[in-house]
Homo-oligomer: A and B are copies of this chain.
């Protein structure tokens, strides 16, 4: 295959990963004298902060996924290639993709993270993940399948197990998922299964440390716990997990919770290929970047987003969309500076707030140096997410997909669906 062998007149910037960081970098380079080559294993960009809503049946997969090629229509110097990234040859300056390799002059690694199970037995095999659209669909199908099975079940213990959902990890993902599942059970499930005894349904949120939302100020974590408990969620703090089986979860304190569904939201590690390619890593396989986001010893290679480990004022930046977006812009600008013979500049993160929703219309947010809770925090959350959704894919037009198709000659839905990966062709 000829991709890597083409003659190049202009420097080629290869971007590995079409998430927030990768796309922000591509957009920033739109008017630079470079050829941008962006690679991802999916032909769509996902909006990960709302994956939990797909899992809980609140959103359709298409609502938070948008074809990368359609995004790139507006960036004429960028091209996309579908493929699984296999590694980087830092010496030869080549990105390995399946059977192909793509030479780069500059490389921006934005491949994100994978689940990290801390050696908890059975977690990799039996816990459900929420890292990708496929995960979210699998989890949703499993949850709805359990409820359907419970509706047919006559044994009370089995029924309880089918209606017991455990979420491991009290960070934003765990808190948001627990709230959404509580509302799923109390709302649509109650309405759609009028004969099902929901007194046995149970949502449990388990956190190893002594409070929820450890990356936010303490009062917000306490608020989240109170609010979730008010919604009927069994919040258990200081409860490390020992072992997970298909229908039980064992805590280190000896408690056994029967549950056919355990969701893993307890931790991630950097995409292992970065470490395997010989890049210096900080904790859990994340690339320990220079202040300029460059990989030490390889000034032509940048790492951004969740994959990059970057300390500011003595603590690591959180793994959130804002850090990835701003990091992508900085990496792209630094490449422009390098090409102009200037020194790359250090990344300066502008914190625009951190937040988590708790159920339908409450949230906990830390922004502008203040804590917000309840409905005002939720309005803040909604505004920010609508802003990015509109920014990324013109949300409301997409929602009237079908009407638009006829009015504007547009196929908004050309996304390879998760049930059959394109790479298996």
Cα-based distance from A409 to B187 in the complex (angstroms): 8
- With beta carbons under 8 angstroms apart, the residue of B2, B70, B184, B395 that contacts A411 is B184
Q: Which of A131-179 contact B (CB under 8 A)?
A: 134, 137-138, 140-142, 144-146, 148-149, 151-154
**Residue pair B192, A67 in contact (C-beta under 8 Å):** yes
- Give the residue among A3, A138, A400, A401 with the most B Cβ atoms within 10 A: A401
- Which chain B residue shows the least CB distance to A138? B420
Residue A400 contacts which of B67, B70, B399, B415 (CB distance < 8 angstroms)? Answer: B399
Mark each residue of chain A from 372 to 413: 1 if its CB lies under 8 Å from any CB of chain B, else 0.
000000000010000000000001100111110110011101
B82 in contact with A148 (CB, 8 Å)? yes
A409 to chain B, nearest CB (A): 6
A273 CB to nearest B CB, Å: 21
Whether the Cβ atoms of B63 and A401 lie closer than 8 Å is yes
Inter-chain CA distance A415–B137, complex, in Å, is 10
Question: A400 touching B402 by the CB < 8 A rule?
Answer: no
> In the complex, A190→B47 CA distance in Å?
26
Restricting to A81-102, which residues have a CB under 8 Å from any CB of B? 81-82, 100
With both chains docked as a complex, state the minimum distance between the C-beta of A148 and any C-beta of chain B, in angstroms.
Answer: 5
Which residues of chain A (408-425) have a CB below 8 Å from chain B?
A: 409-411, 413-425
Provide the residues of chain B in CB contact with A10, threshold 8 Å.
Answer: none
Stretch at the interface among A52-60, A107-115, A214-222, A311-319: A52-60
| Oligomer copy total | 2
A61 contacts chain B at the CB level, 8 A cutoff: yes
CB of A361 closer than 8 Å to a CB of B: yes
- Cα distance A288–B421 when bound, in Å? 42
Closest-by-CB residue of B relative to A71 is B192
On chain B, the residues within 8 Å of A409 by CB distance are 187, 360
Question: How distant is the Cα of A70 from the Cα of B137 in the complex, in angstroms?
Answer: 20
Q: How far is the CA of A120 from the CA of B184 in the complex (A)?
A: 47
Choice from B73, B146, B192 contacting A414 with Cβ under 8 Å: B192
- CB of A79 closer than 8 Å to a CB of B: yes
- A31 surroundings in chain B (CB, below 8 A): none
Once A58-B405, A82-B148, A406-B361 are accepted as A-B contacts, the answer to whether A416 and B63 lie under 8 Å apart by CB is no
- Does A69 sit within 8 A of B, measured CB to CB? yes
In the assembled complex, the Cα of A100 lies from the Cα of B153 at a distance in Å of 12
Decide yes or no whether A8 CB sits under 8 A from chain B: no
Measured between C-beta atoms, what is the minimum distance from A39 to chain B in Å? 11
With a CB–CB cut-off of 8 A, which chain B residues contact A417? 61, 137, 140-141, 419
Q: Which 5 A-B pairs have the closest CB atoms?
A: A419-B419, A69-B192, A145-B422, A60-B62, A145-B425
Binding site for B on A (CB under 8 A): 1-3, 43, 56-63, 67, 69-70, 73, 79, 81-82, 100, 134, 137-138, 140-142, 144-146, 148-149, 151-154, 184, 187-188, 191-193, 195, 360-361, 382, 395-396, 399-403, 405-406, 409-411, 413-425
Known contacts A69-B192, A70-B191, A382-B406; 17 further A-B pairs (Cβ under 8 A):
A2-B154, A43-B148, A58-B402, A58-B405, A58-B411, A60-B60, A62-B62, A67-B192, A73-B192, A137-B417, A137-B420, A138-B420, A144-B414, A145-B416, A146-B425, A188-B414, A361-B406
